[in-house]
Amino acid sequence: MAAIADAPMRPLIRLYDFLIAGFAAVGAASLALSTILIVADVLLRNFGLQPIQAASALVEYAMLVATVGGSPWLVRRKGHVAVDSLIAQLPSPIHRTLLVGGMVLSLAVCAFLGWRAAMLALEAVARGSVDIRSIILPGWIVYALLSAGLFLCATEFLRLLIVRDAPIEAQHGSGA
């Protein structure tokens, strides 16, 4: 982001970069914690001790944390799956225009659904709704997580579109 960074903006940009990396770190940590929780739960159960009641609910939520935590960082890494092989055959200006169009569409989709998820989170807070799993969790958490992840994806697409040192390229993640 250095290319567009004026001096007063730099701390803000550093904070934003830290946020993207921090979200990814939390996502990765959630995977490690899931492993530990499951192993501890199974061992406790088999040794006749009290299992961790919250384990399955927390592990299920960890999957969402990993998804929304990793997704904005993945946009930056251009690690989402996209089929570039067809449009790559087109002349360079058309290829570039289609890529930009795809990014604008992705940005709009993320911003729109991020906004709706935020509204649902606020609604869940107002109604005091809960999510009943192996433990009872406040209903707003999933929407808030989703909203944060989608908004950060939107800002990352925006960053790819406006920052000069981030070349316009297709996302090139691959499968399992």
Partner 1 sequence: MDWPQAALLLLGGIVALMALGVPVAFAFLAINIVGVLVFMGGMAGIDQLVSNASGTVTTFTLVPVPLFMIMGELFFHTGLAMRVFDALDKCLGGIRGRLSYLTVGGGTLFATLSGSSMANTAMLGSLMMPEMLKRGYKKHMIMGPILATGGLAMIIPPSTLAVLLGSLARIDVGALLIAGIVPGLILAFLYVITIRLQIAHDPDAAPGYAAARAPLSEIVKAFAVNVLPMGLVVFSVIGLILLGWATPTESAAFGVLSVVVLALIYRALTWEAIVKSLTESLAVTAMMFLIILGSSTFSQVLAFSGATSGLIGWATSFDVGPSVMLLAMLLTLIVLGMFMDQLSMMMLTLPIFMPLIQSFGLEPIWFGVIMLLALELSLATPPFGMLLFLMVGVGPKGTTLGEVARAASPYIACSLVVILLLAVFPEIALFLPNLMR
Binding site for partner 1 (CB under 8 A): 24, 27-29, 31-32, 34-35, 38-39, 42, 56, 59-61, 63-64, 66-67, 69-71, 73-74, 77, 79-87, 98-99, 101-102, 105-106, 109-110, 112-113, 116-117, 119-120, 142-143, 145-146, 170-171, 173-176
Nearer to partner 1, 12 or 90 (CB): 90
Contact 38, 55 (CB under 8 A): yes
Q: How far is the CB of 153 from partner 1 (least distance, A)?
A: 8
Q: How far is the CB of 13 from partner 1 (least distance, A)?
A: 22
**Number of other CB atoms surrounding residue 138 within 10 Å:** 14
Q: What whole-number distance in Å separates Cα of residue 44 and Cα of residue 139?
A: 29
Strand partners, 132: 136
Q: What whole-number distance in Å separates Cα of residue 95 and Cα of residue 84?
A: 9
68, amino acid identity:
V
Q: How far is the CB of 5 from partner 1 (least distance, A)?
A: 26
